[in-house]
Amino acid sequence: MPQATATSFSSRRRHDREIVALAVPAFGALVAEPLFVMVDSAIVGHLGTPQLAGLGVAAALLTTAVSIFVFLAYATTAAVARRVGAGDHASAIRQGMDGIWLALLLGIAVIAVALPTAPWLVDVFGASDTAAPYATTYLRISSLGIPAMLIVMASTGVLRGLQDTRTPLYVTIGGFAANGALNAGLVYGAGLGIAGSAWGTVIAQVSMASAYLVVVVRGARRHGASLRPDTAGIRASAQAGVPLLVRTLSLRAVLMIATAVAARLGDTDIAAHQIILSLWSLMAFALDAIAIAGQAIIGRYLGANDTEGAREACRRMVQWGIASGVVLGALIVLARPLFIPVFTGDQDVQSTLLPALLVVALCQPIAGVVFVLDGVLMGAGDGRYLAWAMLITLAVFAPVALLVPTYGGGLNALWWAMALMMTVRMVTLWLRTRSGKWIVTGATR
């Protein structure tokens, strides 16, 4: 075997091992997270329809609020990984602590807003008169756990930056088990109803945050890193998170526009759209796991001033993304007779769903590239470009999607607009990675 070929093969194997070691546990943790809501729904659902409806409204509000701050995980991962690559673990953990302190401050601010405005927020989300009191109760109690939820996000970012995705998996599994047991005990055993479900979730979230803090604090003591809040460091973490916040809000706007357009198309279309979105989210977990690995690996290589290693890792992860997208797309096509009846027995919904689902299947290789390159640029700390790229994507998608009800085509046309959105994202991200401008080495960007 020629020397160059042997070296290339060895390099690919090394990158593959790193990607698998980080992505597989990350995927497990990502899949476990939505199970929290499913357990709450299953337990509260037996209390009655108004209680379940109230939980649905409150959970949607909480999910929206928390997802806005996902930059706490992304920005922290990149910053910590750079310092790990530079060999400065003390500084890496110190950077992580700044992110955790920022999470605590943001969580307190959210509580201050959520407690007095809970009835108004529930009303804005359209809760019925019978469901509104339950939604308000659940929202007010659960909002007390938001600081813990945000600390979990930031701490997860710290551990990912330290190249550890196993601990988040273990903590998530433990939190899921505790959540289920506490909910059942407090809702039925203690007779607290929907309030018991909320308190059970809060206790589980605080327990998860505590477990993470124990791990981070031990690491800080081992490497001699300070645990005290540092104003300059917290401010720097917030500034690094702003572009990623813009990116996240733009992406949420895309999803909200798509849902609003589907609703205007009629009940059949919005029902089919919701089914597709649930499948889209499930497939996104698999692709996002590779992106998480990308954040940690790329940040470490750039921190170590290894530009060639970063380029090779990027190329290999793109190959993984394309391959994963092809497999996911094929699974959608081959398994559609099995899973479509599970979601709905309505023949009209099924006939509306099928052509749009095929568009989603065709999009998966594109989505694989998008998720991976998103992770690569996050790992490089290239948040400002990601923000502008997502704003451009939103500007292209919005008018096209909003014209769907006018020019026809139904749900199929709407998902072709979503395919356009993903293509624009892929092109903007590919142009950036091809330019090499994302490659900035050193312990800080």
pLDDT tens across 365-392, in order?
A: 999 999 999 999 999 999 999 999 999 9
CA 198 from centre of chain = 22
Contact 348, 268 (CB under 8 A): yes
**Please, is 396 exposed, middle or buried when counting C-beta atoms within 10 Å of its C-beta (0-12, 13-18, 19+)?**
middle
Query: Lowest-pLDDT range, 52-56, 195-199, 357-361, 419-423?
Result: 52-56
Q: Give pLDDT, residue 61.
A: 82
pTM: 0.88
Q: Give pLDDT, residue 32.
A: 66
Phi-psi region of 87 (alpha: psi -120 to 50; beta: other; left: phi over 0): left
Give the Cα separation of 160 and 23 in Å (integer): 10
* Mean predicted confidence (pLDDT) in 26-39: 72
Count CA atoms within 13 Å of residue 62 on its CB side: 30
pLDDT above 90: residue 335:
no
**Helix, coil or strand: residue 184:** helix
pLDDT above 50: residue 1:
no
What Rg value do the Cα atoms of the chain yield, rounded?
22
Give the Cα separation of 291 and 313 in Å (integer): 12
In which band, very low, low, confident or very high, does the pLDDT at 313 lie, cut at 50, 70 and 90? very high
User: 284 or 207: whose pLDDT is higher?
Assistant: 207
What CA–CA distances, in Å, run from 270 to 172, 275, 352, 353, 380?
A: 32, 9, 10, 10, 38
Q: Give pLDDT, residue 367.
A: 95
In which band, very low, low, confident or very high, does the pLDDT at 48 lie, cut at 50, 70 and 90? confident
pLDDT above 80: residue 144:
yes
* Mean predicted confidence (pLDDT) in 433-438: 94
For residue 293, give the nearest of 309, 307, 308, 313 by alpha carbon: 313
* Mean predicted confidence (pLDDT) in 208-224: 93
Q: Give pLDDT, residue 34.
A: 66
pLDDT above 80: residue 3:
no
CA 129 from centre of chain = 32
User: 219 or 28: whose pLDDT is higher?
Assistant: 219
Of 250-254, 290-294, 335-339, 392-396, the range with the highest mean pLDDT is 392-396
Q: What residue has token string 């809970």?
A: 118
DSSP 8-state assignment for residue 228: S
For 371-403, give the DSSP string. Answer: HHHHHHHHHTT-HHHHHHHHHHHHHHHHHHHHT
Contact 370, 227 (CB under 8 A): no
Give the Cα separation of 444 and 150 in Å (integer): 24
Single-letter residue type at 386: L
Q: Alpha helices of 127-192 — where are they, by DSSP H?
A: 132-143, 146-161, 166-184
Q: What angle do CA 260, 266, 272 make, to 5 degrees?
A: 80
pLDDT in tens, 399-417: 999 999 888 788 899 999 9
Q: Which two tokens stand for residue 192?
A: 């607290």
Give the Cα separation of 105 and 166 in Å (integer): 27
Q: Give pLDDT, residue 211.
A: 96
pLDDT in tens, 79-108: 999 999 999 999 999 999 999 999 999 999
Q: Give pLDDT, residue 9.
A: 67
pLDDT above 90: residue 12:
no
Q: What residue has token string 């060895």?
A: 10
pLDDT in tens, 145-172: 999 999 999 999 999 999 999 999 899 8
Mean pLDDT estimate for the chain: 88
Contact 329, 365 (CB under 8 A): yes
pLDDT in tens, 228-253: 988 998 998 999 899 999 999 999 89
Q: What residue has token string 């006018």?
A: 406
Q: Give pLDDT, residue 65.
A: 80
pLDDT above 70: residue 40:
yes
pLDDT above 90: residue 129:
no
Contact 54, 132 (CB under 8 A): yes
Q: Give pLDDT, residue 42.
A: 76
pLDDT above 70: residue 7:
no
Give the Cα separation of 267 and 270 in Å (integer): 5
For residue 196, give the nearest of 394, 54, 43 by alpha carbon: 43
Q: Give pLDDT, residue 62.
A: 84
User: 338 or 180: whose pLDDT is higher?
Assistant: 180
Give the Cα separation of 139 and 152 in Å (integer): 19
Contact 168, 26 (CB under 8 A): yes
DSSP 8-state assignment for residue 192: -
**Please, is 227 exposed, middle or buried when counting C-beta atoms within 10 Å of its C-beta (0-12, 13-18, 19+)?**
middle
* Mean predicted confidence (pLDDT) in 33-62: 78
pLDDT above 60: residue 4:
no
Count CA atoms within 13 Å of residue 40 on its CB side: 29
Count CA atoms within 13 Å of residue 262 on its CB side: 27
* Mean predicted confidence (pLDDT) in 270-284: 81
